[in-house]
Amino acid sequence: MKFIKDFNTGDRIADIYLCKHMQNATTKNGKTYYSVTLQDKTGTVDAKVWEPNSEGIDDFSDLDYIDVYGEVTSFNGALQVNIKRARLCHEGEYDPAMYLPVSEKNPETMYAELLKLVDSVSNKYLKALLVALFKEDKAFIKSFKKSSAAKSVHHGFIGGLLEHTLSVTKMCDYFSNTYPAINRDLLITAALCHDIGKTRELSLFPTNDYTDEGQFIGHIVMGSEMVAEKIRDIADFPILLKQELQHCILSHHGKFEYGSPKTPAIIEAMALHLADNTDAKLETFSEILKNTNEVGWLGYNKLMESNLFDTRVES
Amino acid sequence: MKFIKDFNTGDRIADIYLCKHMQNATTKNGKTYYSVTLQDKTGTVDAKVWEPNSEGIDDFSDLDYIDVYGEVTSFNGALQVNIKRARLCHEGEYDPAMYLPVSEKNPETMYAELLKLVDSVSNKYLKALLVALFKEDKAFIKSFKKSSAAKSVHHGFIGGLLEHTLSVTKMCDYFSNTYPAINRDLLITAALCHDIGKTRELSLFPTNDYTDEGQFIGHIVMGSEMVAEKIRDIADFPILLKQELQHCILSHHGKFEYGSPKTPAIIEAMALHLADNTDAKLETFSEILKNTNEVGWLGYNKLMESNLFDTRVES
Amino acid sequence: MKFIKDFNTGDRIADIYLCKHMQNATTKNGKTYYSVTLQDKTGTVDAKVWEPNSEGIDDFSDLDYIDVYGEVTSFNGALQVNIKRARLCHEGEYDPAMYLPVSEKNPETMYAELLKLVDSVSNKYLKALLVALFKEDKAFIKSFKKSSAAKSVHHGFIGGLLEHTLSVTKMCDYFSNTYPAINRDLLITAALCHDIGKTRELSLFPTNDYTDEGQFIGHIVMGSEMVAEKIRDIADFPILLKQELQHCILSHHGKFEYGSPKTPAIIEAMALHLADNTDAKLETFSEILKNTNEVGWLGYNKLMESNLFDTRVES
Amino acid sequence: MKFIKDFNTGDRIADIYLCKHMQNATTKNGKTYYSVTLQDKTGTVDAKVWEPNSEGIDDFSDLDYIDVYGEVTSFNGALQVNIKRARLCHEGEYDPAMYLPVSEKNPETMYAELLKLVDSVSNKYLKALLVALFKEDKAFIKSFKKSSAAKSVHHGFIGGLLEHTLSVTKMCDYFSNTYPAINRDLLITAALCHDIGKTRELSLFPTNDYTDEGQFIGHIVMGSEMVAEKIRDIADFPILLKQELQHCILSHHGKFEYGSPKTPAIIEAMALHLADNTDAKLETFSEILKNTNEVGWLGYNKLMESNLFDTRVES
Amino acid sequence: MKFIKDFNTGDRIADIYLCKHMQNATTKNGKTYYSVTLQDKTGTVDAKVWEPNSEGIDDFSDLDYIDVYGEVTSFNGALQVNIKRARLCHEGEYDPAMYLPVSEKNPETMYAELLKLVDSVSNKYLKALLVALFKEDKAFIKSFKKSSAAKSVHHGFIGGLLEHTLSVTKMCDYFSNTYPAINRDLLITAALCHDIGKTRELSLFPTNDYTDEGQFIGHIVMGSEMVAEKIRDIADFPILLKQELQHCILSHHGKFEYGSPKTPAIIEAMALHLADNTDAKLETFSEILKNTNEVGWLGYNKLMESNLFDTRVES
Amino acid sequence: MKFIKDFNTGDRIADIYLCKHMQNATTKNGKTYYSVTLQDKTGTVDAKVWEPNSEGIDDFSDLDYIDVYGEVTSFNGALQVNIKRARLCHEGEYDPAMYLPVSEKNPETMYAELLKLVDSVSNKYLKALLVALFKEDKAFIKSFKKSSAAKSVHHGFIGGLLEHTLSVTKMCDYFSNTYPAINRDLLITAALCHDIGKTRELSLFPTNDYTDEGQFIGHIVMGSEMVAEKIRDIADFPILLKQELQHCILSHHGKFEYGSPKTPAIIEAMALHLADNTDAKLETFSEILKNTNEVGWLGYNKLMESNLFDTRVES
């Protein structure tokens, strides 16, 4: 299969792609056409069906898989596929895994690593909470493994939430070893739970878009609520410990401006915020470098507030 | 009884006051004395016991009521009571209501008005929620009536939360009549519930200070949780309606910078935020004017970001 | 007559519209065409004359009324009228009221309500000022009734200034009843006058654009000057009262950042600012909901700094 | 006469000083004393009358001149005069000029220079305006010469407004020669008038405090109004020129945050703003250096947002 | 030669222009064309070669000079040249000076003026530094004369750095005469050196783009380093004077937000910052007025944070 | 020896302390006394000599060691030593290490760890630079080991710079292992060098105050210069590598607002900034917890922008 990231002007393509979105449109002269976004796990590309009522063009709509025959052209500096034929496929003809962005790391290996971190927590109440969530709640576990950590920006792929959570928790483990004032059990637990609200903030792939609940409540408050809910079933869970854990989740964006209703008041909350921010920044930067084909200066990047440079240019 | 707000330099006093706070201290010459804050419902005043081990001075501590004999002097431009005798009182000797700041309005009258607003809601789910909270939950009702709306700033007195909630809800009622796009039932319900988290964010008088839960979680998230908890017991409560209601509470500070984890996404949330902000600003301004003895220019006020002027100077 | 807000792709139209703006343009191939904006009271639409020198196309220019024959197409997701014939109309053929955005409320009814508020002011100097402006100055009254309150944003239609002024003044009346510290006469007068500078900041419809004076001086300072000018003719007007009134107008945007050269120093100025802000926000939100055809999430709105949601989706 | 800036601990003083402010106070032991601020043209000093009812102490109050006999001590790191005798003086015993801060430059020389700049304007309308203000309006001229340019900060002395106006206008003259796009007549006129509102924003010395009008309206809007008032009497003054001139005054603080209701829209307004800002910054810095007795690092200065250093240390 | 700033729709052109940039592109229909930017000293214009493989079209690329035959059309409101024939030219056929933006002032005259300012410095160490840079370092002098002061914004032309440096230094000379606290020798030297880092931050014309060093280090730090390097060769250069001079360069943007790692701590640094800012603002405004063909209101300008107006409209 | 952090009201002390600062002062009654700050490695305390001319009081001044006999009292809520006798000590009587704040970790052990990191760099140019600095430059090494990382805030003790540098470099090592896009050699080198400018920004203990160079240039630019200087002696050091390294140092504060003249453009600069910020925040928090005697809520902390809580309260 020819992947979208390898398309070049002039290529002819004849493969199955996911139709992420399609819409009817009219040219200036009043002619109808279809504007389509094709997707595979390597990216998306704009496509057009200029003759929608011609023979080879089946009826299809959002999230259908279609067998496309066409040509890659370029328009306004971006690639565009001119679709000549489009056949609607049925399940079995394609492997869905080929069409959705997915972590490069093995999810089961990552989850096993995460469970080891769960096992390393010695406080019995916190351990009970983690077991209830990450070992016993099958629905949650399934959703947690499939979620992305974002709609776009960093970790925006299947398994992204798991990958990000693992990376943050391991960094928190490193911090616990370096700064003795940190209560390791509390920090590891907070790190493992900090983004669990994302399992309900974003719908699963292929849509991966904000849910109503995500828009109205947000993953920060939802994560705090999910933790409180699980704790309700753990006898004698210390009230102060519960509040500190919720506080870590609520304050993990670090500042009011970034949507946290509280700023970090305990060193574990501060450590979690710093680990989350560091992983977000360095993973975003890594993804930018991985996704660019340019060398040297990459232009101004709004998120990083800087003109970026690819140091790999040297080697 | 001589109230603290009426003290003048040179007065002799001989009455019972609440000892809000006391602490041992040492003069430059190494002599021990007591530094005391006296309180009644009209305010607080600094006081000193210069001869702590003399005959007329009983042992007393924070939140005791003491029968004070002394003289009002002034130090560094502020009044200071020189306590000559201090007798520890026992319950029955004093009326606690005389010693705590309290709303000028009758709490039962206000609560009756609030219940009328509850009755005016026609959506059966929202009505059920309001009834469960404001008519059936005795512990909540008791605490709601006694709470202040703030540690200081505006409505910082017993009954302040009730007074503020009523004022905001009535203003929301006015807005519902003026802007037809507003869903009145949703807005009235959100207004009645917007600050209920404050019953747990601040401890009751006489301490009226932040609780651990208040510091770690905050009344905004706590209010949202309390509403969610009540809704759990109401069969078939529409999920979207629940999210919109929680959203109104979560976003009622209007901006991230003010501690809201979400900004108003629906017109009812926007209306609630505007009513809350308006009542806070105009009540604060009213309290400043009520509490000043100056006329004309009152100096720069940080909260209002302006040098303030008392317009009553004209009359 | 077919209104613009009801246009759909594929419609044929044959009606008179206002040409708000037209301009010569050239296609990529060097062919000349006209780019035209058509307007009626329900909105505007982009239009093109592809054959400008053909028989049925009269000479016309900005603010002419033209009898259009054409077809509605869509281009880049927006509607576009392909004009086949365009005949220049003369006065009498059309009713101008059909072509300009106009308040949905009756102007004379609103003005009568406003005059009742004028009559309710008891301070004789303030009453004299209001009478001079709103009852005796015919030129001002005429312009006040026709002005919009904005170039775009909220109340951007004929009668918009009157509608906004009335709404703000009534809210101030409500505030006066709720907060006893407020001097009602001063606040009602300030509310009625707060935006009178807009009669000169924006030219009347159909242009409704900033005047030189509006750009150089601005409606805030102009309104303060207009009040000062009228007061000059009222014997013994108290100097402090005049300054307080001007202060209310100058500070009604609330903060320096919003173009007020002073921040509210008196409770009446603060109340006016809050009423003005509240009406602006809730009216803008109402107009957004009225003008959208979407349901549910409406996308990020810059003014409201939030992704907006239409709660009417439920019913 | 011994000037205040030359006082040292241990000095005995016996001279006449202005009592800027006095107030009754009580020591911790209940003893009454007077707290007094003495002033001469070189500064102010704190003073105390510990025996207010003793023989040598006359009755006196704010803005009286008193013949002081006493001793300079130090308290909490600042000088303090211990007043032993205080005799109330009558006019004629002292020279008021010795007691008020005053420009080091000759006011008449400065005014003559200013009039030359008036004469250099060739546009007849602008010239007429400047003549009406600076040559014919005796009351204005008298007040203009005596005003300070600020309550504190820079140019906070008699003649300060004249000195600042002259400095800004000369700098604008320099700019007019350097940047040909500038309309010199407009800029010179705007520079001469930019701060005339200060004659009414601050009361004259010795009080030099904000007037009600200054607080409510502010010198920016007042200056614009004063110019408009004078122009009313000049036949055929071009309307656009009037608006541009008012615009220069209204926008001379450069940004909304600094209290300008408009930002500079024409190059003359921009030039005026830059000259005003430059003179303010460099004069403030010069005054800091003149008033310090320290050498080298002077500590953090809030206005300059930097730790300052006195470069004269080298010589 | 017909200059680009004089192009109008419909013109036929037949002249040599610099090809600043060219790139292959494909139309929606898959047809290849060239997108070209033509430049002469008066500006740039977009151009297209629709038939790239036709006879009259030579091979050419970035920074080639080409003899163009074509027609001026307009597309989306901007001019566009339709290139029919394009012949590659060789050196000698054209005068490069015609194709690069260049100061309107004579560089040698400006440099002579600059040298006079160098001669006016009396401190022997500072004089030695200036001589080493501006009289003896041939490579530096050559580059300094050819550099622009910016990639775009103000002084973005050959000789721009020299013109800006001279203007700032003369203004600093004016300040030295006005504010006696200023050490003139230090300020003049700092002004002459403040932007010398720009000779290495931007490559020379015709590219005039940021160098790697410019992006990584920036002209502020580079200028400070260049001065330190020259001082290394001057025996006994006073260490404090060196630090003050570097400080002036490092702090000349005035605030951290504008990329200065230090804020002005000495009056000379403050004066330099104000002169630099003033010249930048007034020159930018002058260039806007010079480059516009509009009269009256010019629209919102982001840099100036205001809607601009051309006052020349009056004459 | 009795350490200052263990002082309590009522204690009698008789030990040698460092006189950090002393100054003559006068009481209200004109009596002279000495105000003294005593220091040992556990902190500082205010002290007074009320009878400076009495027998037991030697002459002493800043940075002398004195043998103190006195009593601990409290004034305004803080401890104060009443010095009865003060004998000037000579070298040999005391161990200076007891009087200066010092890292709790062994400097030689830390330095050995640092050298291992130096050895781990494989790029020969970067290795040469690190060897020249950390192995061969004896003066630098001596100063580097003794420097603090700050005047106050975090790591404000002898060895603090070494401890902070080591902690940041090890965290960068962790990042290099986690994010494969990072060039480890560049990042480790940048981390080791990022704060070397501090050896010249702050003078050594006991003064530990900003130097002139520190104030005028700052450690960021100084560190970049120091690296450039060493590189000058390394043949063929790649120019781009040098610029990237300087860039990492210049941008390590992450934002303009924090005094960096550049924002991170390469992933190594971003990683260094995040490690530096993380160590600063978590070490500051750790020091706050170590230095407080309170339990539970510690009050609002400006640096952390939050009310802090000590989680150790639970255990």
Give residue-wise pLDDT tens across range F215-273.
Answer: 999 999 999 999 999 999 999 999 999 999 999 999 999 999 999 999 999 999 999 99
At E207 the pLDDT is 75
Average pLDDT for F276-288: 94
At F49 the pLDDT is 92
Residue A75 has its nearest CB partner, among E26, E215, E216, at: E26
Alpha carbon of F100 to those of F103, F197, F254: distances in Å? 10, 22, 32
Phi, psi angle pair for D298, to nearest 5°: -105, 0
Q: Which of B171, B278, B251 lies closest to C275, judged by CA?
A: B278
Strand partners, F48: F35, F82
F180 neighbors F187 (Cβ within 8 angstroms): no
Assign A236 to helix, strand or coil: coil
d(CA D44, CA D171): 33
Assign A69 to helix, strand or coil: strand
Q: Which residues of D touch E167 (CB under 8 A)?
A: 178
pLDDT level of residue C169 (50, 70, 90 thresholds): very high
At A121 the pLDDT is 98
Query: Which of C7, C8, C9, C71 has the highest number of chain A CBs within 10 A, making it the mutation to test binding with A?
Result: C9
Is F174–A171 a contact, with Cβ atoms under 8 angstroms apart?
yes
d(CA C256, CA C269): 14
pLDDT level of residue B315 (50, 70, 90 thresholds): very low
Pairing relationship of beta strands C43-49 and C78-88 according to DSSP bridges: parallel
Rounded to a whole number of angstroms, the CA Rg of chain E reads 23
Residue E212 has its nearest CB partner, among F221, F240, F262, at: F240
Average pLDDT for D117-142: 97
pLDDT level of residue D226 (50, 70, 90 thresholds): very high
Asked if pLDDT for residue B27 goes beyond 80, the answer is no
Is A221–B261 a contact, with Cβ atoms under 8 angstroms apart?
yes
Q: Which residues of F touch D75 (CB under 8 A)?
A: 26-28
Q: Which residue has the higher pLDDT, E24 or F34?
A: F34
Other C-beta atoms closer than 10 Å to the C-beta of B93 total 11
Is E9–C26 a contact, with Cβ atoms under 8 angstroms apart?
yes
Q: Which of A127-136, C236-245, F196-205 has the lowest mean pLDDT?
A: F196-205
Chain C residue with CA closest to B310: the answer is C266
Amino acid at A172: C
Alpha carbon of F80 to those of B25, D88, F13, F49: distances in Å? 12, 43, 12, 11
Query: Which of B278, B297, B312 has the highest number of chain C CBs within 10 A, making it the mutation to test binding with C?
Result: B278
At D79 the pLDDT is 86
Q: Which residues of E touch D290 (CB under 8 A)?
A: 181
Q: Which residues contact E50 (CB under 8 A, 6 or more apart)?
A: E33, E82
pLDDT tens string A244-290? 999 999 999 999 999 999 999 999 999 999 999 999 999 999 988 88
pLDDT tens string A27-47? 666 677 888 999 888 888 999
At F268 the pLDDT is 97
At B115 the pLDDT is 98
Residue E289 has its nearest CB partner, among D267, D285, D307, at: D267
Average pLDDT for D141-148: 93
Assign A299 to helix, strand or coil: strand
Distance from CA of D27 to the nearest CA of E (A): 43
In terms of C-beta density within 10 A (0-12 exposed, 13-18 middle, 19 or more buried), how is residue C88 classed? middle
Residue C28 has its nearest CB partner, among E75, E297, E309, at: E75
Query: Which of D27, D28, D75, D213 has the highest number of chain B CBs within 10 A, making it the mutation to test binding with B?
Result: D28
Is B215–F309 a contact, with Cβ atoms under 8 angstroms apart?
yes
Alpha carbon of B197 to those of B132, B216, B218: distances in Å? 16, 13, 8
Distance from CA of D103 to the nearest CA of B (A): 29
Distance from CA of C267 to the nearest CA of B (A): 6
Distance from CA of B118 to the nearest CA of C (A): 20
Query: Which of A251, A311, A314, A315 has the highest number of chain F CBs within 10 A, making it the mutation to test binding with F?
Result: A311
Asked if pLDDT for residue C229 goes beyond 50, the answer is yes
Distance from CA of E310 to the nearest CA of D (A): 6
Asked if pLDDT for residue A83 goes beyond 60, the answer is yes
Is A216–B247 a contact, with Cβ atoms under 8 angstroms apart?
yes
The tally of CA atoms less than 13 A away on the side-chain side of residue B161 is 29
In terms of C-beta density within 10 A (0-12 exposed, 13-18 middle, 19 or more buried), how is residue C239 classed? exposed
pLDDT tens string F97-117? 788 888 889 999 999 999 999
Is F286–A270 a contact, with Cβ atoms under 8 angstroms apart?
no
Chains D, F: CB contacts within 8 A come to 17
Chains A, B: CB contacts within 8 A come to 69
Q: Which residues of D touch F26 (CB under 8 A)?
A: 9, 73-75
Residue F311 has its nearest CB partner, among A266, A309, A314, at: A266
Average pLDDT for F32-40: 88
Q: Which of A217-231, B65-79, C115-129 has the lowest mean pLDDT?
A: B65-79
At C54 the pLDDT is 84
Average pLDDT for A150-161: 83
Q: Which residues of B touch D216 (CB under 8 A)?
A: 309
With helix as H, strand as E and coil as C, how does chain E read? CCCHHHCCCCCEEEEEEEEEEEEEEECCCCCEEEEEEEEECCEEEEEEECCCCCCCECCCCCCCEEEEEEEEEEECCEEEEEEEEEEECCCCCCCHHHCCCECCCCHHHHHHHHHHHHHCCCCHHHHHHHHHHHHHCHHHHHHHHHCCCCCCCCCCCECHHHHHHHHHHHHHHHHHHHCCCCCHHHHHHHHHHCCCCHHHHECCCCCCCECHHHHHCCHHHHHHHHHHHHHCCCCCCCHHHHHHHHHHHHCCCCCHHHCCCCCCCCHHHHHHHHHHHHHHHHHHHHHHHHHCCCCEEEEEECCCCEEEEEHHHHC
pLDDT tens string E87-144? 999 988 998 778 888 888 999 999 999 999 999 999 999 999 999 999 999 999 999 9
Is D73–F215 a contact, with Cβ atoms under 8 angstroms apart?
no
At C161 the pLDDT is 96
Assign D175 to helix, strand or coil: helix
Q: Which of B208-212, D235-239, E289-293, F159-163 has the lowest mean pLDDT?
A: E289-293
Alpha carbon of F214 to those of E21, E247, E268, F163, F202: distances in Å? 46, 10, 18, 21, 7
Percent of chain B with pLDDT over 90: 61
Chain E residue with CA closest to C29: the answer is E73
d(CA B223, CA B195): 6
Residue F243 has its nearest CB partner, among E216, E244, E250, at: E216
Q: Which of A132, A205, A171 lies closest to A277, judged by CA?
A: A171
Number of helices (H), then strands (E), belonging to chain F: the values are 10, 7
Most confident of C59-68, D93-102, E23-32: C59-68
What sign does the dihedral E262-E263-E268-E274 (CA atoms) show? positive
Q: Which residues contact D185 (CB under 8 A, 6 or more apart)?
A: D121, D122, D123, D126
Q: Which of B30-39, B184-193, D222-231 has the lowest mean pLDDT?
A: B30-39
- Taking any CB pair shorter than 8 Å as contact, residues of chain B touching chain D are 9, 71, 73-75, 77, 80, 82, 297, 307, 309
Q: Which residue has the higher pLDDT, B31 or D36?
A: D36
**Is chain F in touch with chain B: ≥3 Cβ pairs within 8 A?**
yes
Helices (H), chain F: 107-119, 124-131, 138-146, 160-178, 184-193, 198-201, 212-216, 219-231, 239-250, 267-291
Q: Which residue has the higher pLDDT, C6 or B261?
A: B261
At F27 the pLDDT is 67
Q: Which residues of E touch F220 (CB under 8 A)?
A: 261
Most confident of B24-33, B150-159, C91-100, F195-204: F195-204
Chain A contact partners (≥3 CB pairs within 8 A)? B, C, E, F
At D29 the pLDDT is 60
Phi, psi angle pair for F220, to nearest 5°: -65, -55
Residue B43 backbone zone (phi > 0: left; psi -120 to 50: alpha; other: beta): left
Average pLDDT for F111-129: 98
At B42 the pLDDT is 83
At D315 the pLDDT is 38
Q: Which of A266-270, B310-314, F94-98 has the lowest mean pLDDT?
A: B310-314
What sign does the dihedral B96-B100-B104-B106 (CA atoms) show? negative
At F54 the pLDDT is 84
Q: Which residues of A touch E25 (CB under 8 A)?
A: 74, 77
d(CA B156, CA B101): 8
Q: Which residues of B touch F82 (CB under 8 A)?
A: 30
Q: Which of D39, D60, D55, D51 lies closest to D83, judged by CA?
A: D51
d(CA F22, CA F46): 10
**Is chain B in touch with chain E: ≥3 Cβ pairs within 8 A?**
no
pLDDT tens string C274-295? 999 999 999 999 988 887 766 7
Percent of chain C with pLDDT over 70: 95
What mean pLDDT value characterizes chain A?
A: 90
At E229 the pLDDT is 96
What mean pLDDT value characterizes chain E?
A: 90
pLDDT tens string A197-219? 999 998 887 778 889 999 999 99
Question: How far from the centroid of its chain's Cα atoms is residue D134's Cα?
Answer: 19
pLDDT tens string B190-249? 999 999 999 999 888 777 788 999 999 999 999 999 999 999 999 999 999 999 999 999
Q: Which residues of C touch A203 (CB under 8 A)?
A: none
At C315 the pLDDT is 39
How is residue C276 written in tokens? Answer: 């003005």
Asked if pLDDT for residue A314 goes beyond 60, the answer is no
Question: How far from the centroid of its chain's Cα atoms is residue A256's Cα?
Answer: 23
Strand partners, B309: B297
D275 neighbors D191 (Cβ within 8 angstroms): yes
Q: Which of C54, C13, C11 lies closest to C33, judged by CA?
A: C54
Burial C38-55 (b: 16+ CB within 10 A, else e): bbbbbebbebbbbebeee
Chains A, C: CB contacts within 8 A come to 17
Average pLDDT for C240-262: 96
Q: Which of E168, E193, E200, E197 lies closest to E281, judged by CA?
A: E168
Alpha carbon of C34 to those of C28, C82, E92, E146: distances in Å? 14, 10, 45, 46
Phi, psi angle pair for E296, to nearest 5°: 75, -135
Distance from CA of A213 to the nearest CA of F (A): 29
Q: Which residues contact C124 (CB under 8 A, 6 or more apart)?
A: none
Q: Which of F225, F255, F219, F254 lies closest to E223, judged by CA?
A: F225
Is E271–D282 a contact, with Cβ atoms under 8 angstroms apart?
yes
At F293 the pLDDT is 66
Q: Which residue has the higher pLDDT, D272 or D300?
A: D272
Overall size of chain E counted in residues: 315
E186 neighbors E268 (Cβ within 8 angstroms): yes
At C293 the pLDDT is 66
In terms of C-beta density within 10 A (0-12 exposed, 13-18 middle, 19 or more buried), how is residue A59 classed? exposed
pLDDT level of residue B104 (50, 70, 90 thresholds): confident
Average pLDDT for F287-308: 83
Average pLDDT for E264-270: 96
Residue D74 has its nearest CB partner, among F25, F215, F216, at: F25
Asked if pLDDT for residue C313 goes beyond 70, the answer is no
Q: Which of B267-271, D48-52, F116-120 has the lowest mean pLDDT?
A: D48-52
At E158 the pLDDT is 87
Q: To which residue do tokens 């006898």 refer? A: A235
Strands of B11-64 (E only): list them: 12-26, 32-40, 43-49
